[in-house]
Amino acid sequence: MPTVNVYDMAGQVVGEITLSEELFGAEVNKSVLHSVVRAYLMNQRQGTQSTKTRSEVSGGGKKPWKQKGSGRARQGSTRSPQWTHGGIALGPKPRSYKVTINKKVRRVALKSALSAKAVENEIIVVDEIRATEYKTRTMAEMLKALNAGRKPLIVLPEVDAMTIKSIANIPGATTCQANNLNVYEILNHTQMVISKPALAVIEEVYQA
C-alpha cells in the first residue's frame, strides 16, 4: 500500500499515513483517462455558435441580372455564399456536444488518476488546511513550505469559505471538495494537496 508523509501547514513532517490500495494503488488505464477527459472537455462546450445561411440573411430577393445575354455568370440572388454579405455555406449551427460516460468507467478513471498521482509522488497530505482569517499570504506560505509547485489542487473535506477565498488569489492554485473530485482537474494540476479529513472523505465516498 502507498505510504506518504503527513505535514502540517508549516511544512513539517508530523507523521505518516497509508493510502488506500484500491484508490491510490490501482493500475493506470490511459485509454479510460483519455475518454473521460475528452468527454469532460466536450461537455464544457456550449455549442451556441451560429452563422446565417443564404435563406436567413436579409435582401437578395431580386435576381441581380437576367439569366442570359449579359456575358456574366448566371446569378439568382445577391445573398448566395460567393457574394459579399451573402450567407455562409456549411457554417456552424447550435448543437449539443454532450458526451455521456458510464458510471463504472468514470470510477475507473478516477482511481487511475489518483493512482497516477501517487506513482509520481504528486500527493501531499496535510493534517489540516484551514485559514483563521481572510489572508492570501498565509495560504501562499503554506503552499511554499509544502513545495506544492506552481499549480496545486487543494482538496478540502467540505466548503470552507474563508480558506477557499484565501486561496482564490494564488495564481495556479485551485480548491475543490473531496466528494466532488474531477479527473480533469486532478490531471491538470501538478500536485494534489489533500487535508487528512478530506482524505478520509475520499476513501469513504469513492472506495467501492
Q: What is the DSSP letter of 19?
A: P
Residue 154 identity? I
How far apart, in whole angstroms, are the C-alpha atoms of residue 154 and residue 170?
Answer: 11
Structural domains present in the chain: 3-45+99-206 (3.40.1370.10), 47-96 (no CATH)
Residue 76 has a pLDDT of 92
**pTM tops 0.85:** no
Mean pLDDT of the chain: 93
Whole-number Å distance between alpha carbons of 96 and 21: 38
Q: Round to whole Å and give the CA distance between 46 and 35.
A: 19
pLDDT in tens, 115-138: 999 999 999 999 999 998 999 999
Per-residue pLDDT reduced to its tens digit, 37-92: 999 999 999 999 999 999 999 988 899 999 999 999 999 999 999 999 999 999 99
